[in-house]
Amino acid sequence: DIEGVTVERSTLHNFDEITRKDIRIGDKVIILRSGDVIPKIIKVIASERNGSEQIIPRPTQCPVCGSELLDEGALIKCQNMGCEARVVNSIIYFASKQCLNIDGLGDKIVEALHSSGMVRELSDLFSLTMEQLLSLEGFKEKKSRNLIDAIAAVKGCDCWRFINALGIEHIGEVASKTLCGAFGTAFDTASREEILALEGFGGEMVESILEFVRVNSEKIETLREILKPVAPVKIEAHENPFKGKSVVITGSMSVPRDSIKAILESLGAKVASSVSKKTDYVVYGEDAGSKYDKAVELGVTLLTESEFRSLTSLSDSASSTERIRVEPKNSLFD
Ligand SMILES: [Zn+2]
């Protein structure tokens, strides 16, 4: 009883706070209540302990659905798409603009569909019938038809929208696009190492994906079957001496090595970081060191930067335009 109000609950905020304040089951605590904010525990009165207090175990399973949890230190999250505690928000997110952008499927309607029992999880959206919708308050013929059409229209969506819509912790639009570029729609078959090798992917993101896939593998499969997302089409490079070849770049060039790499990749070459028997070409600049020596030793074809450029311009009219554009600059040295 605090100032005439019976306090029944008090926030523990997150698990790190519980640990930091060493709050145990059975403890006497000091509570702060201010305004309408949920009261919080300020500190434990350790002198009042009698030894029967128990340490609060760190949860490993969701208290609502029993699913494995994503443990990120301070925050512990359930990623089960079908978990009762989060399914409504999962569906709202799935339908939102940055995901599948389903017109007419806003918060209120998702809540009504869920509380009526018509949609218990995401895949149920795709089997909604006119009859079901017409039984909902405020749904007439046209509105119901429009919603069913809008849901059906997301089939064949872009791959990245499919991944983004799943609501994987830390995986937004940019990361979804990277995953699609690397693995197509089968991002869930990628290994820890493969995902970690992607540009911009750190440990926390990888753990989140792996945990999400473990918990939701069947639901991902079901949604993929329904949505039939389309992976980006890789543009096939035209015929050129570097297509499908393994190339190593070493030494300093007239431009940053990354731009030489970008040219090679656009020609369909694979740019490797070390020279081996599988290397087809080594493009070298000034001060080329051990990689150059290794190439000589293995008999790999060596190309200077200008030899490399003349080979690319032979096969690429765009590069020869570039060459012409460069010429006036050279004339300064004449
Ligand atoms: Zn759960």
Tokens at 20, concatenated? 């930091």
Residue 180 belongs to a domain:
yes
- How many angstroms is it from 130 CA to the middle of ligand 1? 31
What is the number of other CB atoms lying within 10 angstroms of the CB of residue 285?
18
- How many angstroms is it from 79 CA to the middle of ligand 1? 7
Give the contacts of 151 (CB within 8 A, at least 6 positions apart). Answer: 102, 105, 125, 126, 128
Residue 41 belongs to a domain:
yes
- How many angstroms is it from 52 CA to the middle of ligand 1? 30
121 and 190 together in one domain: yes
210 and 318 together in one domain: no
- How many angstroms is it from 194 CA to the middle of ligand 1? 28
Residue 318 is predicted with a pLDDT of 44
39 and 90 together in one domain: no
Residue 1 belongs to a domain:
no
Residue 273 belongs to a domain:
yes
First-to-last C-alpha distance (Å) of the chain: 92
Residue 213 belongs to a domain:
yes
Residue 179 belongs to a domain:
yes
How many domains, the chain? 3
CATH number of the domain bearing residue 151 = 1.10.150.20
Residue 333 belongs to a domain:
no
222 and 274 together in one domain: no
Residue for token pair 């434990």: 44
88 and 229 together in one domain: yes
pLDDT digits (tens, 9 = 90+) for 42-56: 999 999 999 999 999
Spatial distance between the Cα atoms of 9 and 37, rounded to a whole number of angstroms: 11
CATH number of the domain bearing residue 309 = 3.40.50.10190
80 and 46 together in one domain: no
- How many angstroms is it from 181 CA to the middle of ligand 1? 30
26 and 175 together in one domain: no
200 and 122 together in one domain: yes
Residue 330 is predicted with a pLDDT of 39
207 and 307 together in one domain: no
pLDDT digits (tens, 9 = 90+) for 191-249: 999 999 988 899 999 999 999 999 999 999 999 999 999 987 766 778 888 988 989 99
Tokens at 212, concatenated? 């999400």
166 and 258 together in one domain: no
- How many angstroms is it from 36 CA to the middle of ligand 1? 28
Residue 232 is predicted with a pLDDT of 76
Residue 196 is predicted with a pLDDT of 92
- How many angstroms is it from 69 CA to the middle of ligand 1? 8
Residue 239 belongs to a domain:
no
70 and 141 together in one domain: yes
Residue 74 is predicted with a pLDDT of 84
Enumerate residue ranges in the chain where pLDDT < 50. 315-334
168 and 265 together in one domain: no
3-state helix, strand, coil in the chain (%, to 5): 45, 15, 40
What is the number of other CB atoms lying within 10 angstroms of the CB of residue 298?
13
Give the structural domain span for 80.
60-234
**φ and ψ of 41, to 5 deg:** -85, 120
- How many angstroms is it from 10 CA to the middle of ligand 1? 22
Residue 225 is predicted with a pLDDT of 96
- How many angstroms is it from 212 CA to the middle of ligand 1? 12
Are 81 and 120 spatial neighbours (Cβ–Cβ below 8 Å)? no
CA atoms within 13 A on the CB side of 212: 24
Residue 234 is predicted with a pLDDT of 67
Of 247, 311, 300, the C-alpha closest to 277 is: 300
Tokens at 143, concatenated? 């509105």
